Amino acid sequence: MKKNWPLWEVFVRSKNGLEHRHFGSLRAADAEMALENARDVYTRRMEGISIWVVESKDITASNPENNGELFEPAQDKVYRHPTFYELPDELKHM
């Protein structure tokens, strides 16, 4: 039998009020072991209070080759930003 442990991505919430953030990856046989290993590998110094693990193959990622069509259209939509609008100086707190 020559089967290798799959790759998992680890997300850690460092404290309540903050989102889970990608911390790195690791190898584990199943989800439970991935959680235990994530605890040992990524939270040895109180770096977290909650962990998510997701098998890497289950993540769909955008391809940098498509970055043009995906992200460039936002560049010419300046009217989505507050500074686009010209307002008189005497207007305060807006």
Partner 1 sequence: MSEKEIKNLEEIFEARIARDEKIEPKDWMPEKYRKTHIRQISQHAHSEIVGMLPEGNWITRAPSLRRKAALLAKVQDEAGHGLYLYSACETLGISREEMYEQLHTGKAKYSSIFNYPTLTWADMGAIGWLVDGAAIINQVPLCNTSYGPYARAMIRVCKEESFHQRQGFESLLTLCKGTPDQKNMAQDALNRWWWPSLMMFGPTDDESTHTEQSMKWKLKRKTNDELRQQFVDQTVPQAEILGITIPDPDLKWNEERGHYDFGKINWDEFWQVVKGHGPCNKQRIKDRVSAWEKGAWVRDAAIAYAEKQEKRNQEERKAS
Structure tokens at 32: 């439970």
Spatial separation of the C-alpha atoms in residues 62 and 71, rounded to whole Å:
11
- In the complex, minimum distance from the CB of residue 16 to partner 1, in angstroms, rounded to a whole number: 22
- Please tell me whether residue 91 adopts helix, strand or coil conformation: coil
For partner 1, which residue of 12, 26, 51, 53 counts as binding (CB under 8 A)? 26
Binding flag, residue 41, partner 1 (CB under 8 A): yes
- Paired tokens of 82: 């507050």
| Distance between CA atoms of residues 34 and 26, nearest Å | 7
What is the closest distance, in whole angstroms, from the C-beta atom of residue 15 to partner 1 in the complex?
17
Contacting residues toward partner 1, per CB under 8 A = 1, 3-5, 7, 24-27, 29-30, 33, 40-41, 44-45, 61, 63-65
